[in-house]
Amino acid sequence: MGNSIITISREYGSGGREIGEKLAKRLGVEFYDKEIITMLAKESGLSEEVVRSWAEKDVSAFFYGINAARGIIPIPDRIFGARRTVLNELADKGSCVIVGSCSDYILKDRDNLWKFFIYAPMDFRKKRVAEVYGEDLATYPNLLKRKDEERRDYYSHFTSYKFGDYKNYDACFNSAIGIDNVVDLIEYMVKKG
Protein backbone atom coordinates (compact mmCIF):
# COMPACT_ATOMS: atom_id res chain seq x y z
CA MET A 1 0.00 0.00 0.00
CA GLY A 2 2.87 2.41 0.71
CA ASN A 3 2.11 5.90 1.89
CA SER A 4 -1.47 6.49 0.70
CA ILE A 5 -3.79 9.42 1.25
CA ILE A 6 -7.39 8.31 0.77
CA THR A 7 -10.10 10.94 0.35
CA ILE A 8 -13.81 10.23 0.59
CA SER A 9 -16.35 12.68 -0.76
CA ARG A 10 -19.99 11.82 -0.21
CA GLU A 11 -23.62 12.70 -0.47
CA TYR A 12 -25.26 13.45 2.84
CA GLY A 13 -26.55 10.26 4.44
CA SER A 14 -24.73 7.90 2.08
CA GLY A 15 -22.47 6.47 4.79
CA GLY A 16 -19.22 8.02 3.58
CA ARG A 17 -18.06 8.81 7.10
CA GLU A 18 -18.71 5.26 8.30
CA ILE A 19 -16.97 3.84 5.23
CA GLY A 20 -13.94 6.05 5.84
CA GLU A 21 -13.74 5.16 9.51
CA LYS A 22 -13.98 1.41 8.87
CA LEU A 23 -11.45 1.64 6.05
CA ALA A 24 -8.94 3.48 8.24
CA LYS A 25 -9.28 0.83 10.96
CA ARG A 26 -8.74 -1.98 8.49
CA LEU A 27 -5.70 -0.31 6.97
CA GLY A 28 -4.31 0.76 10.34
CA VAL A 29 -4.06 4.42 9.33
CA GLU A 30 -5.24 7.72 10.79
CA PHE A 31 -8.83 8.83 10.19
CA TYR A 32 -9.85 12.48 9.91
CA ASP A 33 -13.35 13.88 9.74
CA LYS A 34 -14.98 15.94 12.48
CA GLU A 35 -11.70 16.65 14.27
CA ILE A 36 -10.69 18.74 11.26
CA ILE A 37 -13.07 21.43 12.59
CA THR A 38 -10.89 21.84 15.69
CA MET A 39 -7.76 22.02 13.53
CA LEU A 40 -9.37 24.60 11.21
CA ALA A 41 -10.39 26.74 14.17
CA LYS A 42 -6.86 26.74 15.52
CA GLU A 43 -5.31 27.49 12.11
CA SER A 44 -7.81 30.23 11.16
CA GLY A 45 -8.07 31.88 14.58
CA LEU A 46 -11.85 31.47 14.51
CA SER A 47 -13.93 29.67 17.12
CA GLU A 48 -15.00 26.07 16.49
CA GLU A 49 -18.62 27.23 16.48
CA VAL A 50 -17.94 29.75 13.70
CA VAL A 51 -15.94 27.22 11.68
CA ARG A 52 -18.64 24.57 12.10
CA SER A 53 -21.40 26.96 10.97
CA TRP A 54 -19.45 28.12 7.87
CA ALA A 55 -17.57 24.89 7.04
CA GLU A 56 -19.67 23.87 4.02
CA LYS A 57 -21.60 27.01 3.22
CA ASP A 58 -21.22 29.04 0.05
CA VAL A 59 -21.88 32.76 0.27
CA SER A 60 -23.40 35.16 -2.18
CA ALA A 61 -21.45 37.48 -4.46
CA PHE A 62 -23.15 40.35 -2.61
CA PHE A 63 -21.60 39.20 0.69
CA TYR A 64 -18.18 38.97 -0.98
CA GLY A 65 -18.58 42.42 -2.49
CA ILE A 66 -19.38 44.01 0.86
CA ASN A 67 -16.37 42.35 2.52
CA ALA A 68 -14.00 43.15 -0.36
CA ALA A 69 -15.03 46.81 -0.25
CA ARG A 70 -14.07 46.86 3.43
CA GLY A 71 -10.82 44.98 2.84
CA ILE A 72 -12.05 42.01 4.90
CA ILE A 73 -11.29 38.41 3.96
CA PRO A 74 -14.66 36.61 4.10
CA ILE A 75 -14.96 33.88 6.73
CA PRO A 76 -15.40 31.07 4.16
CA ASP A 77 -12.15 32.13 2.47
CA ARG A 78 -10.31 32.20 5.80
CA ILE A 79 -11.59 28.71 6.57
CA PHE A 80 -10.65 27.41 3.13
CA GLY A 81 -7.12 28.83 3.47
CA ALA A 82 -6.83 27.07 6.82
CA ARG A 83 -8.24 23.92 5.23
CA ARG A 84 -5.40 23.89 2.65
CA THR A 85 -2.79 24.18 5.38
CA VAL A 86 -4.34 21.60 7.71
CA LEU A 87 -4.99 18.97 5.03
CA ASN A 88 -1.48 19.25 3.63
CA GLU A 89 -0.03 18.88 7.13
CA LEU A 90 -2.16 15.76 7.73
CA ALA A 91 -1.13 14.26 4.38
CA ASP A 92 2.54 15.01 5.12
CA LYS A 93 2.32 12.97 8.34
CA GLY A 94 1.64 9.73 6.48
CA SER A 95 -1.10 7.42 5.29
CA CYS A 96 -4.60 8.44 6.29
CA VAL A 97 -8.27 8.57 5.33
CA ILE A 98 -9.82 12.04 5.07
CA VAL A 99 -13.57 12.51 4.72
CA GLY A 100 -14.85 15.61 2.96
CA SER A 101 -13.20 19.00 3.35
CA CYS A 102 -12.57 19.30 -0.42
CA SER A 103 -9.60 17.04 0.30
CA ASP A 104 -9.77 15.39 -3.13
CA TYR A 105 -9.23 18.81 -4.72
CA ILE A 106 -6.80 20.33 -2.23
CA LEU A 107 -4.49 17.30 -2.34
CA LYS A 108 -4.96 16.58 -6.08
CA ASP A 109 -1.30 17.06 -7.00
CA ARG A 110 -0.04 14.32 -4.71
CA ASP A 111 1.12 11.10 -6.35
CA ASN A 112 -0.09 8.93 -3.48
CA LEU A 113 -3.71 10.16 -3.53
CA TRP A 114 -6.82 8.00 -3.86
CA LYS A 115 -10.14 9.81 -4.47
CA PHE A 116 -13.49 8.11 -3.89
CA PHE A 117 -17.07 9.36 -4.06
CA ILE A 118 -19.91 7.70 -2.15
CA TYR A 119 -23.52 8.10 -3.24
CA ALA A 120 -26.80 6.27 -2.67
CA PRO A 121 -30.47 6.37 -3.68
CA MET A 122 -32.60 8.88 -1.80
CA ASP A 123 -34.64 6.22 0.05
CA PHE A 124 -31.46 4.56 1.37
CA ARG A 125 -30.10 7.92 2.51
CA LYS A 126 -33.34 8.95 4.20
CA LYS A 127 -33.40 5.71 6.15
CA ARG A 128 -29.74 6.11 7.22
CA VAL A 129 -30.20 9.73 8.28
CA ALA A 130 -33.20 8.79 10.42
CA GLU A 131 -31.46 5.76 11.97
CA VAL A 132 -27.90 7.03 12.35
CA TYR A 133 -28.43 10.73 13.03
CA GLY A 134 -31.94 10.62 14.50
CA GLU A 135 -33.13 13.25 12.04
CA ASP A 136 -36.90 13.61 11.70
CA LEU A 137 -37.35 13.86 7.95
CA ALA A 138 -41.10 14.37 8.36
CA THR A 139 -40.31 17.65 10.12
CA TYR A 140 -37.43 18.50 7.74
CA PRO A 141 -38.45 16.96 4.40
CA ASN A 142 -35.85 18.92 2.42
CA LEU A 143 -32.91 18.20 4.74
CA LEU A 144 -31.04 15.89 2.35
CA LYS A 145 -31.61 18.16 -0.63
CA ARG A 146 -30.44 21.20 1.36
CA LYS A 147 -27.31 19.44 2.68
CA ASP A 148 -26.41 18.20 -0.81
CA GLU A 149 -26.90 21.69 -2.24
CA GLU A 150 -24.71 23.24 0.47
CA ARG A 151 -21.92 20.75 -0.24
CA ARG A 152 -22.24 21.14 -4.00
CA ASP A 153 -22.28 24.96 -3.85
CA TYR A 154 -19.35 25.14 -1.44
CA TYR A 155 -17.34 22.64 -3.47
CA SER A 156 -17.96 24.41 -6.78
CA HIS A 157 -17.18 27.80 -5.23
CA PHE A 158 -13.74 26.73 -3.99
CA THR A 159 -12.70 24.19 -6.61
CA SER A 160 -12.70 23.88 -10.38
CA TYR A 161 -14.47 20.52 -10.08
CA LYS A 162 -18.12 19.52 -10.18
CA PHE A 163 -19.19 17.78 -6.98
CA GLY A 164 -19.87 14.10 -7.59
CA ASP A 165 -18.59 14.06 -11.18
CA TYR A 166 -17.13 10.59 -11.71
CA LYS A 167 -14.26 12.00 -13.80
CA ASN A 168 -12.75 13.56 -10.66
CA TYR A 169 -12.49 10.30 -8.70
CA ASP A 170 -10.67 7.00 -8.91
CA ALA A 171 -14.02 5.29 -8.27
CA CYS A 172 -17.59 6.07 -7.23
CA PHE A 173 -19.60 3.64 -5.11
CA ASN A 174 -23.30 3.24 -4.42
CA SER A 175 -23.34 2.48 -0.70
CA ALA A 176 -26.71 0.75 -1.01
CA ILE A 177 -24.68 -2.35 -1.98
CA GLY A 178 -23.64 -2.41 1.68
CA ILE A 179 -21.26 -0.29 3.72
CA ASP A 180 -18.89 -3.20 4.36
CA ASN A 181 -18.94 -4.16 0.68
CA VAL A 182 -17.82 -0.67 -0.29
CA VAL A 183 -15.07 -0.81 2.35
CA ASP A 184 -13.96 -4.17 0.90
CA LEU A 185 -13.77 -2.72 -2.62
CA ILE A 186 -11.82 0.38 -1.62
CA GLU A 187 -9.47 -1.65 0.55
CA TYR A 188 -8.79 -4.00 -2.37
CA MET A 189 -8.09 -1.09 -4.75
CA VAL A 190 -5.74 0.67 -2.34
CA LYS A 191 -3.80 -2.47 -1.43
CA LYS A 192 -3.48 -3.65 -5.05
CA GLY A 193 -2.85 -0.20 -6.52
pLDDT in tens, 37-86: 999 999 999 899 888 887 666 555 545 555 556 666 777 888 899 999 99
User: Does 2 score more than 90 pLDDT?
Assistant: no
Band of residue 137 on the pLDDT scale cut at 50, 70, 90: confident
Phi, psi of 189 (to 5 degrees): -60, -45
Query: Does 167 score more than 80 pLDDT?
Result: yes
Q: How far is CA 145 from the centre of its chain?
A: 16
Q: Tens digit of pLDDT for each residue in 96-125? A: 999 999 999 999 999 999 999 999 999 999
State the pTM of this model.
0.89
For the segment 137-159, the average pLDDT, to the nearest whole number, is 85
- Percent of the chain exceeding pLDDT 90 equals 60
Query: Whole-number mean pLDDT of the chain?
Result: 89
